[in-house]
């Protein structure tokens, strides 16, 4: 569905994308995972023909993103990161407007948006600017789908959205995938990576890795341990002092650590109890996407 080769883009000497290559299959749910400033939005604007790369080639459905932009725009649905529907039009007016632009009607493709749009239909006379965050997101997705695109590109659709609405949103995407729609999505939430078929980890304009979430976590190349103790801040300090430890990252209610060369769990427990932490508990764990990301990334901008 998408074939990208050595795509680069920079703005006034600042590199946003650094020779990126990837392939995305038809009806795949593909995620670009990376923090702000990683290059996600630039990449998405290139896929949707809104930005021309400095170098490299990209083909979407056999069309060239630069030369054949007119053909492509008919076939792509795009949901930008910033809410960009008309705030002073109602829900209904926005949807009709987008349908008309693409030469279709809401009725014709209603089956595609029914599940999503039904949540906001009771508010169809309300101005889009007055909707809550979750409702805006559903309207934006409906508008991106109304011309029955083969590919939808969603730039951080779940940023700033609470955990419950996020789960619902991903369930909607899974359903769309069954309609033979290819979905490209970006997110800064690492825990959402597991919901994609394949992901690319993006950092500072480069793809660090592309694979299924499972294969990516399997690539974690050493043993990972979780340490817990009641006084967490003190525990972090003491762990950082210990010379045999390589990385110390807080993860929810535990601290994830790796050792430099040899795993020294029992020595560590002794070190901690010598330092006044007697309730430390250490267990080996299976790494997640965020562990892998931290392992692969170099601290940004420092």
Partner 1 sequence: MNENVVEVENLVKKFGSFIANDNLSFEVKRGEIFGFLGANGAGKTTTIRILVGLSPLTSGKVSVAGFDVTKQAEQVKKRIGYMCQKFSLYEDLTAEENIRLYGGIYGLSKREILQRSDSLLNRLKFEQYRKRLIGDLPPGMRQKLAFSVALLHNPEIVFLDEPTGGVDPFTRRQFWEMIYETASKGVTLFVTTHYMDEAEYCDRISIMDEGKIVALDTPSELKKRYKTKTVEDLFVKIARG
Residues that bind partner 1 (CB under 8 A): 34-38, 132-134, 156, 159-165, 167, 188-191, 203, 232-233, 236, 249-253, 290, 293-294, 297, 299-302
Nearer to partner 1, 58 or 201 (CB): 201
Q: How far is the CB of 133 from partner 1 (least distance, A)?
A: 5
Contact 228, 275 (CB under 8 A): no
Q: How far is the CB of 163 from partner 1 (least distance, A)?
A: 5
Q: How far is the CB of 290 from partner 1 (least distance, A)?
A: 5
Q: How far is residue 18's CA from residue 255's CA, in Å, rounded to a whole number?
A: 33
Q: How far is the CB of 292 from partner 1 (least distance, A)?
A: 10
**Which residues make Cβ contacts (< 8 Å) with residue 133, sequence separation at least 6?**
160, 161, 165
List own/partner pairs for 157-162 with CB under 8 A and 24 or more apart.
157/79, 157/185, 157/187, 158/187, 158/189, 158/192, 159/81, 159/187, 159/188, 159/189, 160/133, 161/133, 161/134, 161/137, 162/134
Q: How far is residue 223's CA from residue 268's CA, in Å, rounded to a whole number?
A: 15
Tokens of 102: 């693409």
Nearer to partner 1, 60 or 140 (CB): 140
User: Residue 270, Cβ neighbours under 10 Å: how many?
Assistant: 12
Nearer to partner 1, 99 or 120 (CB): 120
Q: How far is the CB of 115 from partner 1 (least distance, A)?
A: 18
Nearer to partner 1, 203 or 210 (CB): 203
Nearer to partner 1, 106 or 236 (CB): 236
Q: How far is the CB of 295 from partner 1 (least distance, A)?
A: 10
Nearer to partner 1, 109 or 203 (CB): 203
């Amino acid at each position: 569905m998408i074939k990208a080769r050595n795509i680069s883009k920079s703005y006034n000497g600042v590199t946003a994308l650094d020779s990126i290559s990837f392939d995305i299959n038809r009806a795949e749910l593909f995620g670009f995972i990376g923090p702000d400033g990683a290059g996600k939005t630039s990449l998405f604007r290139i896929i949707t023909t809104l930005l021309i790369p400095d170098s490299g080639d990209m083909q979407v459905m056999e069309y060239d993103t630069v030369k054949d932009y007119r053909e492509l725009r008919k076939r792509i649905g795009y949901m930008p990161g910033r809410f960009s529907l008309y705030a002073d039009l109602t829900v209904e007016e926005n949807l009709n407007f987008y349908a008309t632009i693409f030469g279709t009607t809401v009725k014709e493709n209603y089956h595609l948006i029914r599940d999503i749009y039904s949540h906001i239909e009771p508010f169809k006379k309300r101005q889009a600017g007055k909707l809550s965050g979750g409702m805006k997101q559903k309207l934006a997705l409906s508008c991106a789908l109304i011309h029955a695109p083969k590919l939808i590109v969603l730039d951080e659709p779940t940023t700033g959205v609470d955990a419950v609405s996020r789960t619902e949103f991903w369930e909607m995407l899974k359903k769309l995938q069954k309609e033979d729609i290819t979905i490209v999505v970006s997110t800064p939430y690492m825990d959402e990576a597991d919901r994609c078929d394949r992901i690319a980890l993006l950092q500072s304009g480069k793809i660090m890795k592309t694979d299924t979430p499972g294969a990516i976590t399997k690539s974690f190349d050493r043993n990972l341990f979780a340490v817990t103790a009641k006084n967490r801040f003190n525990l972090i300090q003491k762990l950082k002092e210990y010379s045999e430890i390589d990385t110390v990252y807080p993860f929810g209610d535990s601290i994830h650590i790796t050792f430099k060369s040899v795993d020294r769990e029992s020595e560590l427990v002794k070190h901690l109890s010598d330092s006044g932490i007697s309730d430390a508990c250490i267990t080996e764990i299976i790494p997640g996407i965020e562990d892998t990301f931290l392992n692969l990334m170099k601290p940004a901008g420092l």
